[in-house]
Each structure stands twice: as C-alpha cells, then as structure tokens.
Amino acid sequence: MSNTVTYEGIVHYLNSMEFSGMKMGIDRIRDALYLFGNPEKDLKVIHVVGTNGKGSVAAMMSKIIERAGHKVGMFTSPHLVDVRERIQVNNQLISKEEFREVFLEAKSKFTDLTFFELITLMAVLHFSKQKVDYAVFEAGLGGTYDATNFETSLMTVITRISLDHTHILGDTVEKIAKDKCGAIKQNQPVVVTHTNNTVMDLIRQIVDEKESRLVLAEDTSYDVSLKGQFQKENAGIAVMAARELNISDGTIKKALQEVRWPGRVEFIEDNILLDCAHNPAGITALGKYVETLEYDMLYIVFGVSKNKDYDEMIRLLPRHEKLIFTQSSITRRLHIEEVPDSVECIKVRDPAEALSHAKGLAGEKDLILVCGSIFLVGDIKASLSLDSGQDVIA
C-alpha cells in the first residue's frame, strides 16, 4: 500500500485534517513518541514559546546554529504555502520523498493524533534520522499542553506574551503567561524577553520552582536582516539563547544579517508589504514600522480568523486611505458577510482579487499593506506563485 501513496495524496489528506478540530492535552503525542522509542530524548531541543515572535526567533536561532557549523532542525507553524516549511534541516525544507517516508512511518503506528501532533511526530522522526545537533521547536499553542512540550529539552525561550487565543489559554496576560511557563523544565536556562515585565515576577517564581536559571534578553544593537524594530527584540532573544550554546558573537552577527523569514515585514514589490501580524500586539508592532516608511497614502488588505479580537486589531491599524476586507481560505476565517457594518471598508471575497483592487487604487508613491492573518499572507503568496522560502532558505 505504501508504494501507492503519493506525496500529493498525503498533502490532500493532511489538508483535510488541519482544521478538523483541536484536542488539548499531551498524552497522545507522548504515547506516540513512546511507541517509537522516544526519539525526542536524543535531540537537544530548544523550545520556543510565546505569543508574538516565536517563528522569527526560531528562524534566527536556526540560522545562528547553522552558521556555527552545527546541523540544526527547525519545526515551525503554521506554513504559508508549502506544508514542508514546517520541517527543515539547515534551513532546507524536507524533501517530498523524505516527507512521504516519515509520514508513512508515523502513520504506521498512530491512531488518533491531531494534525499538529502528527506533524510534530514527523518532525521528531526526521530530525532523529538526520542526526541533527540541535532541534529548534516552535510551540503551536501555549506551552503546557502543546505537542512540542517534550519532557526533556535543553532550553526554553519565551518571546513576548500578550492576549491571543484567550478562549483556550485564558483571558488575562497572567493566565497566558502561566500556560506558556508550563514549558519550563528542571535545571535549564530560560531565556525571556524584557518586554514581559508585567509578568516577570510570575516567570521568576516558576523558574525558581524548577531550579532553573533566568536569562533576561534586551533588544540587540546588531544589524538584523529582518525589518522592524520588533525584530531587534526578537534578535535580542536569539542572541542570548545562542550565547547559552557558547556560540561566538561574531557568528551571531553574521547569521542575523543573513536570516530570512518569509511573510514577516516582506516587500514583494516596491510598494506591497506583507506581514503575518494576527493579533493586537502584532498589529501595534507592525504599525510602528509602517510609520517609519515614506509613502503618500496607505491601502490595507485585511483578513482575519473569526476567533481573533478583530475589532481591536482594526482599531490599531495604521492610518489608511482605504481598508479592503477579504477572507483567507481556512475554515475558521471571518467571512466578509460577518464584518460589522460599523467597519468602513470595501469587501472583496477573494484575497488575490482584493490585492488587485488595492493595486488599482494605489498610485506609484502609495503603500499597500497586507496583514491580519498568517493564512491570508500565505494565500496571497500562493496566488502570486511566490515561494514561501524556496527549498533552501538562505
């Protein structure tokens, strides 16, 4: 049977799973890992949790570790265009044949894993086969009950914490922080960004309980290829984490100048800017960057998942001439019919058509911003046949 299963068929199967529902808890993934002999225990895992900046920090860490001469696996989510973006070794996407093989291996034993648990298991199996020196795992949701919360990890990295997924993680920053801190293990360095000052006492308490060591990260002064002041904060986290691995500052500096992370403050044309900001904190940070740019008028193409605080996100959008509301392809998108009448906007159902409409309105000196959802940015990139990073991400 396995010989008849194609990569394309696997992707179709996974797509049917991806938004079929969420099951909280880590028992299923731990049972699955046990069936494979707990390969995660052989990995030196750097676990990245937080609300904003996880993917950027994971990409920076992966590039720094690779630049230091090590073989590094990176697991991130969600993907923009190609599901293989989630599993990379030395910043190269897992090949289609490797993806097929590790899927069939995982599926040979699992029974009731969710999409995210299955992909996590596949990443562990692939990194184990590749004998990576380090594995950077970005948490999917929260920390305590996330499938990436392995019992053994080398280091926990905590990016900026803010309100998001409040229906699952809690309706205060303190509750969300407590959930994220569930990733902290005994006797390990815990790298935390300074912007978590409002919950730092809670983080310190949990770090002390675990007899671990708090490493406070400040914004870096190093040059960073990724745009936006907020990436200086993310890079500062990566710098401190890399120093914990005894990587030299010279290597760190070179890597930060080389790292790429598609869809994050990414210009795809001279006046079209894409960003995956998908919650109020992300929109705020993006707005600060947009304010530094020179343009005549701003046109925003915006789409959002219905479980987000989209009223607040819209309120925080930078000042604009027109807001074009669209919807991504995922099932939990906010449909344009559901956009409140109080929101002054143009409604265009298809993301590609929404961008085309914005281009028709904008002049040469105007700026078009696409934001609100990672999935929207992915749809736009796919419609323009833009790689989400190519097979090799330099």
Q: Where are the domains of the chain?
A: 2-258, 266-383
How far from 145 is each of 44, 149, 259, 331, 393, CA to CA, in Å? 20, 7, 30, 23, 30
Q: What is the pLDDT of residue 172?
A: 87
- Cβ proximity of 148 and 120 under 8 Å: yes
Q: What is the pLDDT of residue 11?
A: 93
Q: What is the pLDDT of residue 25?
A: 76
- Cβ proximity of 128 and 39 under 8 Å: yes
| 4: its two tokens | 């008849």
Angle at 286 between CA 218 and CA 310, to 5 degrees: 120
With respect to CATH, is domain 2-258 assigned 3.40.1190.10? yes
Residue of 241, 140, 158, 144 whose CA lies nearest to 195: 158
Tell me the whole-structure pTM to 2 decimals: 0.91
What is the greatest pairwise CA distance in the chain? 59
Q: What is the pLDDT of residue 234?
A: 97
The 3-class SS string of the chain reads CHHHCCHHHHHHHHHHHHCCCCCCCCHHHHHHHHHCCCHHHHCCEEEEECCECHHHHHHHHHHHHHHCCCCEEEECCCCCCCHHHHEEECCEECCHHHHHHHHHHHHCCCCCCCHHHHHHHHHHHHHHHHCCCEEEEECCCCCCCCCCCCCCCCEEEECECCCCCHHHHCCCHHHHHHHHHHHCCCCCEEEEEHHHHHHHHHHHHHHHHCCCEEEEECCCCCCCCCCCHHHHHHHHHHHHHHHHCCCCHHHHHHHHHHCCCCCCCEEEECCEEECCCCCHHHHHHHHHHHCCCCCCCEEEEECCECCCCHHHHHHHCCCCCEEEECCCCCCCECCHHHCCCCCCCEECCCHHHHHHHHHHHCCCCCEEEEECCHHHHHHHHHHCCCCCCCCECC
Q: What is the pLDDT of residue 250?
A: 98
Give, rounded to a whole angstrom, the gap between the first and last alpha carbons of the chain. 37
Q: What is the pLDDT of residue 17?
A: 82
pLDDT-flagged residues of the chain (< 50) = 1, 389-394
At a CB cut-off of 8 Å and minimum separation 6, what does 121 contact?
29, 32, 33, 36, 106, 110, 113
Where does 266-383 sit in CATH, by number?
Answer: 3.90.190.20
